[in-house]
Structure 1
Amino acid sequence: MKKSLMIALLVGAATSPVLAQNTPAATPAPAAAPSAAKKQLLDRLVALQQPGLESMAVGLTEQPLRQMLGAAQQALGRVPEDKRQAAITQIEGLAKKYSDDMRPIAKEKAAKLGQSALGPMLNERFTEDELRQLLVALEAPAYKKYQAALPELGNAFTEQLVTELRPTVEPKMKALEQSVSSALGLPANGDAAPAKGKAPAGKASQPKK
């Protein structure tokens, strides 16, 4: 989930443990209502942050969904093989319905909160002149071009990073899985425990001459 620099700074300031420890207990007095000119600047700035706010809201609603799907993935091993694909299809449909239902709600909440919460915070922290400077930077064609290129740049970087990491990660994960299986007393992946009373394959007893 991408967030603009402005959102990252505001969220970081609100959640930083150091800042939280040093913040006085008393609630500061609210800033004076902005002038009409400053209100217009604030509205423009909040509008620029809206895609990031919506992405953040959608991400928050889908985080528990990803956790639930991870747990379901682990539980699929206990589903009979002949019923597994039907279960996967049903789970995928339920997950899609949840996302389809929650995305518009999350975006609507983000839009309302952006105006009612983010606007006053920006008004308190930035002067009218500072808002103008921010808007010049954020509305610059080069910055917009950079923002538009971020998904492609991120995907390309991720693909190359995966390629570089795979030769190291895969053998280490395989060794880890085998160690975990050994700690649990389970056969390693691909190894079947020999059936009781039967000789292992390739070592059947020879008939006596």
Structure 2
Amino acid sequence: MKKFKLALLTVALAGSSMAAMAQDKAALIKQFVDVQRPGIESLARGLVEQSSAPIAQAGSQYLQSQVPEAKRESAAKAADAELKKYFDDAYPIVRDKAVQLAPGALTPLLEQNFSEEELKQLLAWINSPLSKKYQDLNPKMQTALTEKLVAETRGTIEPKMRALDENVAKALGAPTGGAQQGAAPAKAPAKAPAKK
């Protein structure tokens, strides 16, 4: 009977110890994700800036080639104001969604790839072989979060990008409504040389 009680007590202690370890690991992962918030916000900032970059570049090219020099400064300021308005509107949406999605996107990768002790070392960020392991995993974590973030914010951000495109075009005095900007007129096909 004593052996049975001892075995039962051992099993109970092992079970509670494992549950505590799982809670400790979960707490370490939550702490790690919280520490990563500036990087997550930076990722969101980069995505928003990247999304408007083609519009800004096209606007700049149009400004230099199509807008009279006398109107360029005011048109550039108006376009910059539209770009800033877009960023100020879109960034909080993407940032907040990134922060919201980060635990779900990153936790499985961290649980699968790091032990509790490694998470402690990672949080302390000591120069060690662990640093290399984290750096190797980091692109996968960013990809996982980026994919989820883009999927979750696409419906909200794409209409804003279309509005930004229209507003920048208007600010620059460029054609709007899907007209090709700066497109060269179609050339007539070259005539074949006459046969002699």
TM-score by length of 1: 0.47
Per the TM alignment, residue 81 of structure 1 is displaced from its structure 2 partner at its CA by: 2.3
Counterpart for residue 136 of structure 1: 124
Number of residue pairs matched by the alignment: 105
Per the TM alignment, residue 45 of structure 1 is displaced from its structure 2 partner at its CA by: 0.6
- Find the aligned partners of 1:135 and 1:63 in 2 and give their Cα distance: 30
Counterpart for residue 108 of structure 1: 96
Q: Percent identity?
A: 41
> Which runs of structure 2 are paired with 1:146-185 in the superposition (5 Å)?
none
> Which runs of structure 2 are paired with 1:1-209 in the superposition (5 Å)?
35-76=22-63, 77-137=65-125
Residues 58, 107 of structure 1: 8 Å contact kept: yes
Per the TM alignment, residue 100 of structure 1 is displaced from its structure 2 partner at its CA by: 0.4
- Find the aligned partners of 1:84 and 1:136 in 2 and give their Cα distance: 52
Per the TM alignment, residue 67 of structure 1 is displaced from its structure 2 partner at its CA by: 2.1
- Find the aligned partners of 1:95 and 1:86 in 2 and give their Cα distance: 14
- Find the aligned partners of 1:91 and 1:41 in 2 and give their Cα distance: 45
- Find the aligned partners of 1:133 and 1:79 in 2 and give their Cα distance: 57
**Which of 1 and 2 has higher RCO (CA within 8 Å, sep 6+)?**
2
For structure 2, which runs of at least 5 residues remain unmatched after alignment?
Answer: 1-20, 127-196
For structure 1, which runs of at least 5 residues remain unmatched after alignment?
Answer: 1-33, 139-209
- Find the aligned partners of 1:82 and 1:136 in 2 and give their Cα distance: 57
Per the TM alignment, residue 72 of structure 1 is displaced from its structure 2 partner at its CA by: 1.1
Counterpart for residue 190 of structure 2: none
Per the TM alignment, residue 51 of structure 1 is displaced from its structure 2 partner at its CA by: 0.5
- Find the aligned partners of 1:78 and 1:64 in 2 and give their Cα distance: 24
TM-score by length of 2: 0.50
* Structure with the bigger percentage of helix: 2
Residues 58, 102 of structure 1: 8 Å contact kept: no
- Find the aligned partners of 2:114 and 2:48 in 1 and give their Cα distance: 30
Counterpart residue type for residue 78 of structure 2:
Q
